[in-house]
Amino acid sequence: MDNSNLLLVTANVGTLFEDPLILMQQWIHEFMLTVKQLHPQFIALHLQEVGGKTYEQSSHYVKEFVKSLCEAYEMQEFSIVRIYLDENFNSQEQFTALGNLYFGHNSIPNSRLWNFKNCSWETTQGKKLYFGNIENVATKDKSKFPLDFFPECKWSRKGFMRTRWDINGTILDFVNMHLFHDASNLTALIGFPSVYSQRRRKALIHTLQRFDMDKDNEIVPYFLFGDFNFRSDSAGVTKALTRNLTEHRLATMNVNNLKKQYRDENGKNILTIGKKEFHHIDHQNKFRGEWLKQYDRDLEICKGILFEYDITFSPSYPYEETPELPTRYLTTRCPSWCDRVLMSAQMNEITINRNTSYNLIGDNICMGDHKPVYLNIQIKSNQGS
């Protein structure tokens, strides 16, 4: 066998568990359509915010979600299954709400899984599902970011989880990552890089350095895919949108309700920005064009370290969660490419660039506030590490 066909998917699924009867079924249906169309031999599905905001109430839906994925008709020939779900919600220091799900097809002749504790390889036959407290599961490496990285030093569910696979003689890591979001549009507006962007960069570089310095589990080529919460450069976007407009501040008794409005010469309001409001008069069309890409700048600091295929799809966040409005953006944030599939520079040596596809799943179907993003790519066999 010359190469292996991989399907890598990242999805923030937090809102699925707020409407599990409709959204969850639609999500699974669209995911399976993608599997059916692309015929992957290995699937790596990285989830963030598994269970949503109230994990305690949603945990049975999480198991139902995983069961539906595993038992789907399209998955019947995937005999290798490894599922890691961090459900230890009682531990603020450890809980990330990340889920790493892996499926290997019968057509893969050889695969192994790395044990990070013993620094040795394990066989991958059969299906193993790890739920609940998975801190002691040795075939994954998981960590929250240090407490001082978090806003106001308050824990939230941000961190990473990785696994290491040998697929037909080629060794690579799959890293799931969830970075910090923008708490206020007005704060993000002050300049670039915003305080939020700086926080994301700090956590990302911290993790990459951790991999570099891990002498027991030396560095191998890796795919890094998750919800990076990368946001468009708010200051740059706003400047571009408000040329020839006049700024007006709306003073209110409550500082949290402060808003900026930008009006044309006739006094018509074109753009409103508040703490959790970003509303353009032509909101649904304005953010789908090529012009917005120049303001996608959070990754600039990792140039030469991380590689990404060209983005040809619309921003993956934030969408309406109403099933009847699958393509509409919420007017809470400037639409951005939060969800990404990145790779280390070494990956260029083991990947095959023809027929690679990088896109959204469920473009015209409601998938929650984030659209899943996938990379379909082929890797060469017998490349070692």
| Domain assignment of residue 329, yes or no | no
| Domain assignment of residue 261, yes or no | no
Domain that holds residue 140: 3-231+297-320+336-380
Cβ neighbors of 353 (< 8 A, separation 6 or more) are none
Residue type (1 letter), 147: L
User: What are the CB-based long-range contacts (under 8 Å, 24+) for 240-243?
Assistant: 240/291, 240/295, 241/270, 241/271, 241/280, 241/286, 242/270, 242/271
Start-to-end C-alpha separation, the chain: 18
| Domain assignment of residue 248, yes or no | no
| Domain assignment of residue 271, yes or no | no
H helix count then E strand count, the chain:
6, 19
Per-residue pLDDT of the chain (385 residues; tens, 9 = 90+): 579 999 999 999 999 988 888 899 999 999 999 999 999 999 999 999 998 877 777 778 999 999 999 999 999 999 999 999 998 887 787 889 999 999 999 999 899 999 999 999 999 989 999 998 999 999 999 998 877 776 776 667 889 999 999 999 999 999 999 999 999 999 999 999 999 999 999 999 999 999 999 989 999 999 999 999 999 999 999 999 999 999 998 877 666 678 999 999 999 999 999 999 999 999 999 998 899 999 999 999 999 999 999 999 999 999 999 999 999 999 999 999 999 999 999 999 999 988 899 999 999 999 999 999 999 999 999 887 6
| Domain assignment of residue 191, yes or no | yes
| Domain assignment of residue 188, yes or no | yes
Count of the separate structural domains present in the chain: 1
CATH number at residue 67: 3.60.10.10
- C-alpha distances out from residue 155 to 92, 130, 158, Å: 6, 24, 8
pTM of the model: 0.95
Query: CA 380 to CA 385: how far, in whole Å?
Result: 12
| Domain assignment of residue 269, yes or no | no
| Domain assignment of residue 241, yes or no | no
